């Protein structure tokens, strides 16, 4: 009898121990999962602290129409319009204004005297900054509609041929001028012309070195022709906002290179979130 009781007690003790072991194992597994989850969350949190993180949402969003991809979020202040990303012919910014700055053509209230409001305000500040530093800048050409770009492009094709024209003049739909965020500028020391000579002037040098403080970048810098696919344009400045401009200037990037790095960060973040 005592032997049977001892055996029953031993079996019961074994079952209890097994349950405890299973419980501990499950607890350890849960603890391990929590640690892994915390580690993953830490990685995501780290990526979200990257200065480029806010710009992930500012990437081009594309839509296909009649077999061609177009930029859908055209009103995006960080729109990347180039030979690879097209705007639709119907896009016209809704907030075009005439900045209160000096223009090379005087006071004429014409299409190219306009910019989107936020860019126009920033241009006014930039020109004030230049004047305070002892330099006088002149705005030459801002907004350009799709139809006007078509005229400019066809004139260049007629003068230089299609292959050569594409190096200097944007195909309609790919011009930053259609965004209303770009302004060509010059100075009297450069004859108010849009030429590489402007980049050699004191005014052009000041503009290149200080534009980022006002939210602008030199859009087609020298030595980056293979990246932008355009010739060097010392006169073409593009508004992107102070935060983006500071990053681009610091890293000596083009807008294309800026968004290449934004895309890399976006990919890393998605991978970390899915892990």
Q: Is the pLDDT of residue 9 over 60?
A: no
pLDDT value of position 7:
46
Can 222 be counted among the known catalytic residues?
no
Which listed residue (74, 150, 233, 257) is catalytic?
233
Residues listed for the chain: 275
DSSP code at position 238: E
Question: Under a CB-based contact definition with an 8 Å cutoff, are residues 118 and 212 in contact?
Answer: no
Helix boundaries (H) for 133-238 = 146-160, 162-168, 202-210, 225-228
Tell how strand 216-220 and strand 182-186 pair up.
Answer: unpaired
Question: Under a CB-based contact definition with an 8 Å cutoff, are residues 206 and 218 in contact?
Answer: no
Percent of the chain exceeding pLDDT 70 equals 85
59 sits in the region (left: phi over 0; alpha: psi -120 to 50; else beta) called beta
Angle, in degrees to the nearest 10, between helices 117-132 and 202-210: 130
Mean pLDDT on 34-61: 84
Phi and psi at 88, nearest 5°, equal -80, 150
Q: Average pLDDT over the chain, rounded to whole?
A: 89
Q: What is the pTM of this model?
A: 0.83
Element at 65 (helix H, strand E): strand 62-65
Q: Is the pLDDT of residue 13 over 90?
A: no
């Amino acid at each position: 009898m005592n032997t049977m009781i001892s055996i029953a007690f031993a079996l019961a003790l074994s079952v209890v121990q097994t349950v405890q072991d299973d419980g501990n194992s499950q607890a350890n597994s849960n603890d391990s999962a929590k640690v892994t989850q915390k580690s993953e969350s830490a990685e995501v949190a780290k990526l979200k602290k990257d200065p480029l993180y806010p710009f992930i949402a500012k990437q081009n969003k594309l839509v296909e129409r009649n077999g061609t991809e177009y930029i859908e979020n055209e009103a995006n202040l960080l729109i990347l319009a180039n030979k690879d990303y097209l705007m639709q012919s119907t896009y016209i910014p809704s907030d075009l204004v005439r900045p209160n700055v000096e223009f090379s053509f005087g006071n004429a209230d014409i299409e190219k005297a306009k910019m989107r409001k936020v860019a126009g305000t920033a241009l006014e500040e930039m020109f004030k900054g230049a004047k305070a530093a002892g330099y006088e800048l002149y705005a030459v050409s801002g907004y350009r509609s799709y139809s006007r770009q078509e005229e400019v492009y066809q004139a260049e094709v007629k003068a230089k041929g299609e292959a050569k024209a594409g190096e200097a003049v944007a195909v309609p739909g790919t011009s930053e001028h259609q965004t209303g965020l770009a302004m060509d500028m010059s100075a009297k020391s450069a004859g108010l012309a849009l030429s590489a000579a402007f980049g050699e002037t004191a005014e052009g040098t000041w503009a290149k070195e200080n534009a980022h403080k006002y939210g602008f970048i030199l859009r087609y810098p020298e030595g980056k022709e293979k990246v932008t696919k355009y010739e060097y344009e010392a006169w073409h400045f593009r508004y992107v906002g102070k935060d983006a401009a500071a990053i681009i200037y610091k890293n000596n990037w083009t807008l294309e290179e800026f968004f290449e790095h934004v895309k890399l960060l976006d990919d890393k973040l998605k991978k970390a979130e899915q892990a």
